[in-house]
Structure 1
């Protein structure tokens, strides 16, 4: 056998895609996209778009000489004749997906792939045949599929990759995953059976038993021959299946001898499936037809003749010195995309630096990127800086790269000293990607950067909240530009090197590309924000919030570590006691941290009812299950309490003292600004928004958040903010009146729902009303309400009906919001933030239902998020203008936390609630409540 080799003497590669597997994955992974966004009558395009993404990524990731995408053909196959019940239980293909099959075939061809669908056999059989032919010619085959059945094809020439799960099934990978080598995979499958294809195996023989049998007997044939030797129930079941097993194996065996001559006339040569170039003009027509505007733009960006790209590659000057056509001289971009004509410089001398600084000072807007020693923003130090003032033009200043043979670099502190006046000049407009991080990094070197007027991460967050906001995603989505992956230059996992050790030439290209792409993305996104006043308002709020959050993070919060050590000791004692009590109730010791052992004790030993099962079929022991069982049984209650206290101790009580910053003596959380689709902030490292406050132990943790000597901790939070927003948005008269007259809104609701006078409402009725008020905000169903209140579903439905009779404005708002969301594909906050709902027209019922509930709740959550951001910005502005020493140290949902000097407490008590209540005028008054004390807990 002679291996076919490429020009660089590597074996040639055949890339085969299991198209049928891909299209189902694309359909289920993508939202309900339409050719006309938001129009349910428009053709569905989600599977088409997902397929394009997957095929493009695969082609980029796997170098191949030959390629084909193989689909199942409609109609019966030889397996149906062999066994009429084959695949009998499979659900029919969804109509929306069926309508996308022909367009998927078309676009895959236009992308340069050979498309195959052969009648009478399955896609797996075609793949097996082609892989076998390629192997005979010494051609390596890579099969891309998530189908485990294809593992039986794996050999020294054939590898299966599952790109969705980052799984490689080569010879070692198959054996590691299934416990048998690829040559025994069909035997393994015949024993286990295939429930998806309705192929029975041997009763009660699962994967472990199958592996054991095949290891002992060597093959299915040997096992069948010696079936009489197999003992116990397994032997009995095996002998019952002896007549069926040959048929089962035949059904599961992938054919490797399909007649493909009609489809690939040139066989056995594979020249008919040489991977081709994409049909750009036809693709553009296709993309426009199905509403893929981003892909059209991507085509236009990449549509440059190859000879021109080659001719202009010399313009990419990493490490070149200044001169004609060099540093920051505007290139001729006519006929070329910005991404192909790049002038990147590396600054090694003071002359180069002075030239760069002069250009930076003259520029109207400069994109700035830091390369650092750490992702910890409070610890990170600058390793290098890059600047871009025009698309395709950037310069990198290496400062502290240290490795054998590293070039001489300008001294960091001197460079920063020369840049400091420009960096701290608020009139010099600057741009970045996630500028809050860069502000911290500069602050670590004593520089307070001013003039950050734009942040591409926040631009994306406002325009397309439901999409990724990383720079690489933005560049690919809006410019059609792909970039250098960080792991390419630094390695990954345990082998990743710090940025200081990345060779300067690689670091320069990487960093220049970042600042260049940042500017390029800004030029694409900013015009869209500029022409929409509502979105521009939200974007400006996000930019101002980023500045305030930087201040909050920098301030940090003081922790009483000794108090936490005391709490840790007490919790440890209680956890041990709970463990002993659980062992006594169980009648045996067991590991309370092991779901498997808990399941064995609860369901096998004690025979408790199984509430639900895990994906693998084992009884679930999750929190919901334990809470249900705890209503009737003491052991689950003990396990639940043990689990809660152990989590509290491990997550907060033990961990917080370790997170005190050595330089400041404080804990500094990080606020992720561009994560939640509603606009809410999320806190992490540590997460200070999720400290449980419903238990006494959880509330005690807040006692450890203390003030510096001469100060107090103060808390100001909005009262019933989402209900007030509901009243404003729904314009329901009864709800508006309750807030305008400063009534207890839950008592008012109870009065309406239960038909009693407000002063006759019982505490239980008020509790019910509170659950109803907040439940309906979150789109709770009668079933959910019943479960929450512990009542019958019919009774809960009656309460909801009465609520809507008394508050018809709320019902009208909910109905109108659902309809509006379905037609537009998004909802809005009071201030104009757009909250997209990709699943609002999904054919999948649960997904669509979830989106409808989100449509009702998101405007309220989003408006609450806008209000707290407005408050943060307003209060910080007043603190600065009046030169107050009060510091904002935390933001937790609808609450702001401050460290207040004792002599400013009266001012804070009067002014902060007033400022928060005055940031917006709604149809009901905003109310902020204020408290103060020596620690966070006492401030409430």
Structure 2
């Protein structure tokens, strides 16, 4: 099974692990009196982490001995820390030896701390499209968190994403450095501001936004704490520099090279024996015995010319039984008689789990290498078809296999089960087989049961619900540059891997489906929304969208010319040529040659050229403004204009995205390769990209978009009389809110008042604070607070709904959409008020976002059914948030528009009408 999911890098704060294990465990020692508790604790944590996360890349990072640049900045840095206890110091080297012998990449870089190495790798990986999980208990690292970087505390299991950082510290990740500079850190001896604790620091940052703004307003902050702040102004910049991670450390390892290697079992045995780690010795003995037995069996049965690039060790690992031992009977089917025997079993079965093994994760290019099936737990078959390495055994041809299996695959019975079944259906379509009877999908079952509990790939779901470590794709095919295509994997190895996929899929279904059936709303959600949506998305993906590559090419030429003009203007503003992409040269020009004010410094004491710094300077200086414009155009060009033409399928001439149902916790769809839900729309250049999404000759694009759907859902959920009345009369909701809040007749509402009301309408339902509203509107916090209070006075039902939802969430631990989709809130009963409040905001948010997702999914199913029944020459191309995009024959556009509006409006019966805005044009931009 090949699933197109983001790669993951796990970074471990090894020094933090060491200290935490030392203080958390009793003082264990071996028979010679050598302390071993910290080593045991760290190894247990690493083993648990690797088992739960199954990372593609991993690094264990320790502090190197010696001084760092922070010691050079501040002699007293960490000066008050006691030296490492002797009983801990003696455990460091054995631990490092164990980590290396386990095959885990280990990093210690002189002159910087482990946190700086972690920061550098995390930023590099995130910028390269790799998801990053940092295992640490260090609050400093919260400054790294963004959409791709998350923290996990292995001791507690808690995770911090952007919202989690805000909930825990009451500031956002980008404010953490300023927060630490204010609060200080007694363990690192960062000075901070006396009398300023976490609450005061967060309060100031919520009010002023940044440390620099706090410093600007220091004279106006009253009381003793204000005096303390003013007295500390000379050392605040130092505190900030000490707290800022250096994310530009020169490293010899790129993130995608940090691959776990084979374990040195001989060395591990010596280390575990010396340390007397008996549990690890038993595990090692079991693993070694299993590997030796499998190797012995293969040496007796496998031909000498096994798959190139596939070592005996890899094959043995692939065939090793999962952690929870169980009886397995897997058959490799290479004869027609055996295949017909299995086909007879399928024909009599109620349910058949199956999986395809292919040549690619790209569903438009993937071709079948083999098929696996299971109709009874523990019993499965693999039918190899196209393993073509030298010395490969004789296999049935694709034609022979499909002659036997086509009647079964194209029949509604038996019901079909898969894990990410949509991909397998695509692959079969390439082979001329239209899969029918797509009844169950264990990936979607996991997602419907608990969207937030785990990732929903097979490895993660099997580990959670079956307590089983499945064979990973990398174990049979290798990783990175050394990975071989599946058709080059030895048949015996491939058979165990592929048969397990079908077997585990069946076991997952038998575990998850009874859980879903126990909650009728979830069963209905699965049977009426999620599973029926699979063939709809399949057709959308298969259809693709037509891209005018020539238009993008011309736009690329124009933007290239614009970039040259901006570069020329920047050179003129700088008084000479320089490389605009070079932070070092830019730094020298801005702050050395031109003498612009230094707004912030990097950890190494250099003036920062970060984007937020340039934005602040751009208000008064030309060069920073030109640099920002240059960067914006360059990103647009590289991300969309240059890339989209490269993603046009050479056969269809269209771009084919992948829609993902089991990613967003709220139920929203996401898309990738390319991400069609992130095409820019707010700038003229971004809208021109949408102009490249075109219809074929004689056809046009139709875009149908729900109007203010989440506000309408809020009106439905809250049953607020004012909101219900405004929507019932089809009034402009922002104008109506402005009239209510400002006490102005509807017809006299100004544009500025409407914009304020719009910010309030959308902001409050997403938990925006008065400070956030003040920043958005450019008003003081007191005035923003009055707007908030007025809003709730005019719409009391909204406040009542929010209060009731918080209470329900606390009682149940989850909230629901209108159709019963659940979002679990693990922190809703937290004793930490900031964490709890973050969960409460999510509790209010999720029912609206989730219900909106359910509505458009229902609409897609209804529209797709009508298109199939009517046979109208029109096709559903894209779903983008609350919008559906169609391609239709020009003379049939009005018929499509009428039915699309009717079906989308009728997708839900709320207390307010759903309104759908529809447009048409030669391209997406015209239709929107």
TM-score, normalised by the number of residues in structure 2: 0.70
Whether the 8 Å contact between 2:76 and 2:189 is mirrored in structure 1 is no
Deviation of 1:797 after TM superposition, in Å, equals: 1.6
Structure 2 counterpart of 1:438? 424
**Alpha-carbon distance between aligned partners in 2 of 1:24 and 1:793, rounded to the nearest angstrom:** 47
Deviation of 1:58 after TM superposition, in Å, equals: 6.4
Structure 2 counterpart of 1:257? none
Structure 2 counterpart of 1:275? 278
Unaligned segments of structure 2, at least 5 residues: 1-13, 26-39, 55-74, 113-121, 123-131, 137-183, 191-270, 303-321
Deviation of 1:574 after TM superposition, in Å, equals: 1.1
Which one of 552, 562, 565 corresponds to residue 564 of structure 1?
552
1:279-318 map, 5 Å: none
* CA gap 1:926/1:794 in 2 versus in 1, 3 angstroms: same
**Alpha-carbon distance between aligned partners in 1 of 2:102 and 2:490, rounded to the nearest angstrom:** 33
Structure 2 counterpart of 1:576? 564
Aligned-partner SS, 2:677: coil
Aligned-partner SS, 1:938: helix
Structure 2 counterpart of 1:464? 450
Structure 1 counterpart of 2:470? 483
Structure 2 counterpart of 1:125? 89
**Alpha-carbon distance between aligned partners in 1 of 2:531 and 2:925, rounded to the nearest angstrom:** 31
Structure 1 counterpart of 2:678? 690
Deviation of 1:51 after TM superposition, in Å, equals: 9.8
**Alpha-carbon distance between aligned partners in 1 of 2:837 and 2:348, rounded to the nearest angstrom:** 54
**Alpha-carbon distance between aligned partners in 1 of 2:836 and 2:43, rounded to the nearest angstrom:** 22
Which one of 374, 377, 381 corresponds to residue 395 of structure 1?
381
Structure 1 counterpart of 2:346? 360
* CA gap 1:796/1:58 in 2 versus in 1, 3 angstroms: closer
Structure 2 counterpart of 1:915? 903
1:546-561 map, 5 Å: 546-561=534-549
Deviation of 1:389 after TM superposition, in Å, equals: 0.6
TM-score, normalised by the number of residues in structure 1: 0.69
Structure 1 counterpart of 2:520? 533
Is 2:920 aligned against 1:932?
yes
**Alpha-carbon distance between aligned partners in 2 of 1:20 and 1:714, rounded to the nearest angstrom:** 59
**Alpha-carbon distance between aligned partners in 2 of 1:58 and 1:660, rounded to the nearest angstrom:** 37
**Alpha-carbon distance between aligned partners in 1 of 2:272 and 2:427, rounded to the nearest angstrom:** 59
Deviation of 1:348 after TM superposition, in Å, equals: 0.7
* CA gap 1:423/1:613 in 2 versus in 1, 3 angstroms: farther
Whether the 8 Å contact between 1:22 and 1:145 is mirrored in structure 2 is no
Is 2:388 aligned against 1:424?
no
1:1-12 map, 5 Å: none
* CA gap 1:536/1:620 in 2 versus in 1, 3 angstroms: farther
**Alpha-carbon distance between aligned partners in 2 of 1:793 and 1:279, rounded to the nearest angstrom:** 63
- Deviations for 1:48-94, whole angstroms, at most 9, x for unmatched residues? 999976444569999xxxxxxxxxxxxxxxxxxxx99977589xxxx
Q: CA RMSD of the aligned region, Å?
A: 4.3
* CA gap 1:49/1:392 in 2 versus in 1, 3 angstroms: farther
Whether the 8 Å contact between 1:87 and 1:196 is mirrored in structure 2 is no
- Deviations for 1:556-588, whole angstroms, at most 9, x for unmatched residues? 111112211221111111111112222222334
**Alpha-carbon distance between aligned partners in 1 of 2:359 and 2:337, rounded to the nearest angstrom:** 27
Whether the 8 Å contact between 2:425 and 2:434 is mirrored in structure 1 is yes
Whether the 8 Å contact between 2:411 and 2:437 is mirrored in structure 1 is yes
**740-749 vs 817-826, greater mean Cα deviation:** 817-826
Alignment size in residue pairs: 713
Aligned-partner SS, 1:929: strand
Whether the 8 Å contact between 1:318 and 1:343 is mirrored in structure 2 is no
Deviation of 1:627 after TM superposition, in Å, equals: 3.6
Aligned-partner SS, 1:689: helix
* CA gap 1:393/1:151 in 2 versus in 1, 3 angstroms: farther
Unaligned segments of structure 1, at least 5 residues: 1-15, 28-47, 63-82, 91-118, 153-161, 168-193, 201-267, 281-302, 320-335
Whether the 8 Å contact between 1:17 and 1:144 is mirrored in structure 2 is no
Whether the 8 Å contact between 1:146 and 1:164 is mirrored in structure 2 is no
Structure 2 counterpart of 1:382? 368
1:693-772 map, 5 Å: 693-772=681-760
- Larger Rg computed on CA atoms: 1
Aligned-partner SS, 1:276: helix
Which one of 773, 796, 801 corresponds to residue 813 of structure 1?
801
Aligned-partner SS, 1:725: helix
Aligned-partner SS, 2:393: coil
**Alpha-carbon distance between aligned partners in 2 of 1:122 and 1:407, rounded to the nearest angstrom:** 60
**Alpha-carbon distance between aligned partners in 2 of 1:453 and 1:269, rounded to the nearest angstrom:** 49
Which one of 614, 622, 644 corresponds to residue 634 of structure 1?
622
Aligned-partner SS, 2:671: strand
Whether the 8 Å contact between 1:87 and 1:197 is mirrored in structure 2 is no
**Alpha-carbon distance between aligned partners in 2 of 1:443 and 1:369, rounded to the nearest angstrom:** 14
Deviation of 1:520 after TM superposition, in Å, equals: 0.6
1:847-858 map, 5 Å: 847-858=835-846
Deviation of 1:842 after TM superposition, in Å, equals: 4.9
Which one of 334, 339, 358 corresponds to residue 348 of structure 1?
334
Whether the 8 Å contact between 1:818 and 1:855 is mirrored in structure 2 is yes
Which one of 482, 494, 500 corresponds to residue 481 of structure 2?
494
**810-819 vs 481-490, greater mean Cα deviation:** 810-819
- Deviations for 1:252-286, whole angstroms, at most 9, x for unmatched residues? xxxxxxxxxxxxxxxx9967724238999xxxxxx
Structure 2 counterpart of 1:214? none
Whether the 8 Å contact between 2:272 and 2:280 is mirrored in structure 1 is no
**Alpha-carbon distance between aligned partners in 2 of 1:49 and 1:894, rounded to the nearest angstrom:** 49
Deviation of 1:813 after TM superposition, in Å, equals: 2.2
**Alpha-carbon distance between aligned partners in 1 of 2:523 and 2:22, rounded to the nearest angstrom:** 39
* CA gap 1:614/1:372 in 2 versus in 1, 3 angstroms: farther
Aligned-partner SS, 2:623: helix
